[in-house]
Every structure is written in C-alpha cells, then in structure tokens.
C-alpha cells in the first residue's frame, strides 16, 4: 500500500513524498482512512511506529477547507510533555509546508504574551500540554467551542504524570460533535474508562499487542551489586564492551541520580549530556538537539525522554535503574530499534530489583536473557572487600553507614557532616571548666536577689546548644530553674 491509496489531499501527498516517504506504517495505513471519514479512532501501537503522522496527515487534509477565528482554534492536540508538543509542531511544519496553517504551541517555560498573540490571530492547530492549556482558558484568552478535531496523544503517559483529571476537564469543555483521535501504547483500566467516556463508537486500530516490545531490539539483563558506585562501574564496563555503539540513552528513575551519573561519566571521559524535567525549556531543547546532531554520544535522562521523541538513530538504551512501572520499560527500550533499524537494550539489575523485573517479565510475556551471568552468580558480599580509593569506611557504606546513603560523588557532603558532628562535640569538654571559674560568692541582683553560680554559665551553655542541662550529672530544672526572667521578679503592690 502507498500513501496515495489512503485518500490524502494532493498537497499532503506532495509533502510526504518530499520528506522521503512512500509506504505508510501499519498504524498509518489503518488509522488514516478512518480519520479522513471523521470517525473517532482508538489507536494502540508500540512506540516508534509512526503514530504522529497517523493524525497529522488527515488533520492537514481536513484543514485545507475553512479558516480560523480569533481565540477559537479549529483543532486541538494535547501532549504530556513539552518535547512531544514541540515535535508535533515540527511535523506540521514539515507536512504542511504548502498549506497556510497557523500553528500555536502552548507549553510551559515560554512567554504567555507571545502565546496570547498567536491565539488572537486565529489558530488552525493548537498544540498544548494540559496545564498551560487550562491556564490560558482560565485567563479568558482561549475559547474551545469551535474545536473540530481533538487528539489525545500518549494517553498512558498522561496517566503516569497525573494529567487524567485535566484531560477529563478539557474534554468536557469541547463540543460534543467533535472528532476524537486517541492514541496510546498501553491500555490500563483508567485509560479504557476514559475512552468509553469520551469516544463515540470508535474504530479500534491495534497493530501490536499492548505492552509488547519491538522485535528489532536485542534485550539483555546485567547483574550488578546494589551500591551506586558499583552500578556506575558496571555501566562503564558494559559501555566499553559495545563496539557498535554510536549513541545511547541512559535512563534513571530519579532526577538526582541523573546529575550524579552525568558527572561520573563526564569525569571518566565520556561524551555525555543530561535531560530531566527540572531543566528549563531552552536547556532541555538545546541538550536534545545536541544529542540528535551527534554532538553528544550519551544522554542521561529521566522518563521525560522515554515517550515519543523522534530520535531514529539511537543504537543503544541502558536502564541504569530498573523502571518501577513495568510499562516504562516498553517505552524506554522503544527509543532504539526504530524505523526498522536494529538496537540493543541493557538493564542493570540488583537483588533488590527482583520484584520490578518479575513485573516486566509478566508484562512482555517472556523472560529476558542475562549477560555474563545472573544475580545468583554474583559473589557474596565481603566485609573487607576493596573499595574505591580515597574513601573512609564510615563515609562509603561500612557497617555504620545508614541504609540508602549515597556514595562516590555525593561523598564530600556526607564526610563534612560527619566531621562537623565530631568537631561540634569537642567544645563541650573545653567549655566545661568555665563553670568551675564562676564566682563562688553570689552576685547581688538589682532587687537584692542573689543569682546562682549556675547563671554565670548561661551563655556558654547556650552556645553549646543547651547540652549541659541534659547531662546525666546535672539535675533537671523545674520551671525556669535558676534562669528566671527579671520582669517576673518585679514586686507587685497589695
């Protein structure tokens, strides 16, 4: 089947051919004809199968007729992340180059005023993240009563990010007669309920089993010890073994681990960048573009890079952490092996990750092979085994280390904290003689009341954080003890 068989307009076909495409992917071949017939579509396909073009191409064909009005967009596309929204905008620029379409992007990290000006001019295609879209609506800058087509993309990612209440609210603001195109890689119960509520007799297009992994990706598990510095050493070893590595995305579960791993790889001479949700939008886009342009070999990222980003030439994916949600595994390794290319995915697994690994096996319906032995082949922990150089046993996780404490690059902060505690205790012994040098005779107060010798050491006691009053050799004070405020000693008349 060719694109010319799908019923697209001549201008759209010309743009597709100019982009170098001739045959549609399975999801495109099945979804586009139904979308052109104004049917609601429920599309389920694994990542990297061309879902974006499945709704962009028929939308452009529909938009050739009619014109937009101020503050009243004709179509609405809702994306979970800024990167996905920007990527969809690029698709409209590429496929709609012969059209006079006004496209507006409403995402966080950008100026409200500039976005308002675009909306005021009239928008054919409005691409937005849920939060920023509702912000504009609540400010009275946007009307949604003229939306003809609604696209909800990466719906399962919306669920993971907590956007489902926002999606429900947005759907209720739109006309009942709209066409809805709904795309997701997985179909958890919450997403199924959403489709039953807001789609009218949809055509279900499923080109791959939900939660299945691409057959073009070679998957391996790598056994490692649970300590972070051991995992980093294991990752470096596996990276160095990959002779065919051209570029790779390394996924971490936590943002703070991204910074630590980024600094570690950079210190060991790797060409590496970092990408996570706390970065501002310009920095995120610049880092992503640098990786696309092969200026960076490795990209350490959170799951913000796991969904829908179009980087077709990624040769490897590494899961530094086993994903907590098994569905994220499918999306992470889907960053490689795209567009018919082969790819490799390696997941570092510690003994504490067994339950997450079992969940992944249940989801994908098979067990993943191990590289160089399984967890059972790891040597038993030894109390005196060699540790990284320059680290004391107390700071690096000996018997006194707290469970879950960080190591390696995060060591300096913890060592300073330990040393601070030891130094802080020293003045207690030095300052103790101050109490012995207090005057032996009581010092008369202003009202003829004598002060206790203990009151002479108040300042030194407070400077030590009040430890003296909690020592075992001192009696516990009653009420204010001997440190009675002066205003309470003022005599009152009868």
Instruction: Identify whether residues 271 and 196 lie together within a single domain.
Output: no
pLDDT higher than threshold 50 for residue 137: yes
pLDDT of amino acid 131? 94
Instruction: Identify whether residues 433 and 372 lie together within a single domain.
Output: no
pLDDT of amino acid 50? 82
In a domain, 476, yes or no: yes
pLDDT of amino acid 174? 96
Average pLDDT over residues 23-39: 94
Cβ–Cβ under 8 Å, residues 86 and 107: yes
pLDDT interval class at 380 (50, 70, 90): low
Instruction: Identify whether residues 311 and 176 lie together within a single domain.
Output: no
pLDDT higher than threshold 60 for residue 435: no
Average pLDDT over residues 177-189: 90
Average pLDDT over residues 341-352: 92
Which residue's structure tokens are 């299945």? Answer: 212
pLDDT of amino acid 472? 42
The DSSP symbol for 80 reads S
pLDDT of amino acid 488? 74
Q: What is the CATH number of the domain that holds 287?
A: 3.40.50.300
In a domain, 400, yes or no: no
Provide the mean pLDDT of the chain: 79
Instruction: Give the domain range for residue 437.
Output: 414-489
- Strands 179-184 and 149-152, by their bridges, are parallel
Structural domains counted in the chain: 3
In a domain, 392, yes or no: no
Average pLDDT over residues 45-57: 84
Please say which residue of 350, 378, 406 terminates a domain: 378
* Residue 148 backbone phi and psi in degrees, to 5: -95, -35
Instruction: Identify whether residues 68 and 9 lie together within a single domain.
Output: yes
Instruction: Identify whether residues 126 and 235 lie together within a single domain.
Output: no
pLDDT tens digits along 117-134: 999 999 999 999 999 999
Instruction: Identify whether residues 71 and 135 lie together within a single domain.
Output: yes
pLDDT of amino acid 230? 93
Average pLDDT over residues 488-494: 68
Query: How many helices (DSSP H) and strands (DSSP E) are in the chain?
Result: 18, 16
In a domain, 348, yes or no: yes
The DSSP symbol for 225 reads -
pLDDT higher than threshold 70 for residue 465: no
CA–CA separation, 365 and 194 (whole Å): 26
pLDDT tens digits along 265-322: 999 999 999 988 778 777 888 888 889 888 999 999 988 766 656 676 889 999 999 9
When comparing pLDDT for 406 and 150, which is higher? 150
Instruction: Identify whether residues 44 and 151 lie together within a single domain.
Output: yes
pLDDT higher than threshold 50 for residue 458: no
In a domain, 57, yes or no: yes
Average pLDDT over residues 422-443: 38
pLDDT tens digits along 145-180: 999 999 999 898 888 788 999 999 999 999 999 999
Instruction: Identify whether residues 182 and 249 lie together within a single domain.
Output: no
pLDDT higher than threshold 80 for residue 328: yes
pLDDT higher than threshold 90 for residue 72: yes
pLDDT of amino acid 339? 64
pLDDT interval class at 211 (50, 70, 90): low
CA–CA separation, 162 and 185 (whole Å): 17
Please say which residue of 179, 206, 233 terminates a domain: 206
Which residue's structure tokens are 């809702």? Answer: 78
Instruction: Identify whether residues 122 and 261 lie together within a single domain.
Output: no
Cβ–Cβ under 8 Å, residues 94 and 19: yes
Instruction: Identify whether residues 48 and 131 lie together within a single domain.
Output: yes
pLDDT of amino acid 399? 37
CA dihedral 219, 225, 227, 230 (to 10 degrees): -80
Instruction: Identify whether residues 199 and 256 lie together within a single domain.
Output: no
CA–CA separation, 45 and 185 (whole Å): 5
pLDDT interval class at 439 (50, 70, 90): very low
pLDDT higher than threshold 70 for residue 365: yes
Query: What's this model's pTM, rounded to 2 decimal places?
Result: 0.64
Cβ–Cβ under 8 Å, residues 36 and 10: no
Instruction: Identify whether residues 196 and 341 lie together within a single domain.
Output: no
pLDDT higher than threshold 90 for residue 336: no
In a domain, 111, yes or no: yes
In a domain, 116, yes or no: yes
Average pLDDT over residues 373-395: 55
pLDDT of amino acid 165? 94
pLDDT of amino acid 136? 95
In a domain, 403, yes or no: no
Please say which residue of 206, 230, 256 terminates a domain: 206
DSSP secondary structure string, 6-66? TT--HHHHHHHHHTT--S--HHHHHHHHHHHTT--EEEE--TTS-HHHHHHHHHHHHHTSS
Cβ–Cβ under 8 Å, residues 148 and 119: no
Q: Which two tokens stand for residue 12?
A: 């759209």
pLDDT of amino acid 304? 73
């Amino acid at each position: 089947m060719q694109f010319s068989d799908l019923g697209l307009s001549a201008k759209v076909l010309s743009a597709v051919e100019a982009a170098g495409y001739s045959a549609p992917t399975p999801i495109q071949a099945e979804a586009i004809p139904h979308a052109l017939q104004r049917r609601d579509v429920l599309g389920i396909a694994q990542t990297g199968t061309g879902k974006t073009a499945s709704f962009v191409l028929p939308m452009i064909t529909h938009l050739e007729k009619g014109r937009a009005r101020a503050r009243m967009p004709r179509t609405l596309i809702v994306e979970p992340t800024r990167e996905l929204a920007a990527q969809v905008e690029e698709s409209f620029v590429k496929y709609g180059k012969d059209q006079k379409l006004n496209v507006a992007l409403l995402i966080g990290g950008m100026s409200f005023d500039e976005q308002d000006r675009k909306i005021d001019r009239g928008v054919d295609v409005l691409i937005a993240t849920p939060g920023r879209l509702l912000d504009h609506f609540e400010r009275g800058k946007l009307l949604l009563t003229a939306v003809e087509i609604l696209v909800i993309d990466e719906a399962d990612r919306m669920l993971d990010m907590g956007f489902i209440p926002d999606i429900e609210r947005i759907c209720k603001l739109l006309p009942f007669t709209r066409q809805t195109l709904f795309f997701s890689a997985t179909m958890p119960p919450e997403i199924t309920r959403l489709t039953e509520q807001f789609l009218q007799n949809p055509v279900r297009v499923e080109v791959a089993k939900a939660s299945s992994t691409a057959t073009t990706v070679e998957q391996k598990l790598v056994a490692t010890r649970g300590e972070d510095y051991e995992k980093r050493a294991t990752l470096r070893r596996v990276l160095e073994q990959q002779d065919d590595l051209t570029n790779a995305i390394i996924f971490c579960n936590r943002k703070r681990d991204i910074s630590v791993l980024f600094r570690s790889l950079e210190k060991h001479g790797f060409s590496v960048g970092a990408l996570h949700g706390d970065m501002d939008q310009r920095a995120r886009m610049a880092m992503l573009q640098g990786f696309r342009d092969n200026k960076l070999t490795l990209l350490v990222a959170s799951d913000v890079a796991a969904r829908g980003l179009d980087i077709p030439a990624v040769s490897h994916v590494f899961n530094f952490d086993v994903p907590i949600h098994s569905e994220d595994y499918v999306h992470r390794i889907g960053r490689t092996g795209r567009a018919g290319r082969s790819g490799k995915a390696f997941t570092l697994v510690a003994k504490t990750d067994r339950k997450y690994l079992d969940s992944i096996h249940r989801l994908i319906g098979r067990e993943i092979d191990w590289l160089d032995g399984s967890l059972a082949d790891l040597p038993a922990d030894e109390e005196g085994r060699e540790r990284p150089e320059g680290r004391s046993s107390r700071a690096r996780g000996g018997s006194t280390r707290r469970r879950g404490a960080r190591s390696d690059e995060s060591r300096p902060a913890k060592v300073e904290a330990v040393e601070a505690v030891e130094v802080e205790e020293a003045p207690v012994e030095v300052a103790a003689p101050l109490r012995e040098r207090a005057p032996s005779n009581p010092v008369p107060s202003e009202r003829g009341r004598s002060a206790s010798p203990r009151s002479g050491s108040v300042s030194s006691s407070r400077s030590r954080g009040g430890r003296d009053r909690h020592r075992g050799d001192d009696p516990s004070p009653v009420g204010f003890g001997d440190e009675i405020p002066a205003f309470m000693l003022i005599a009152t008349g009868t």
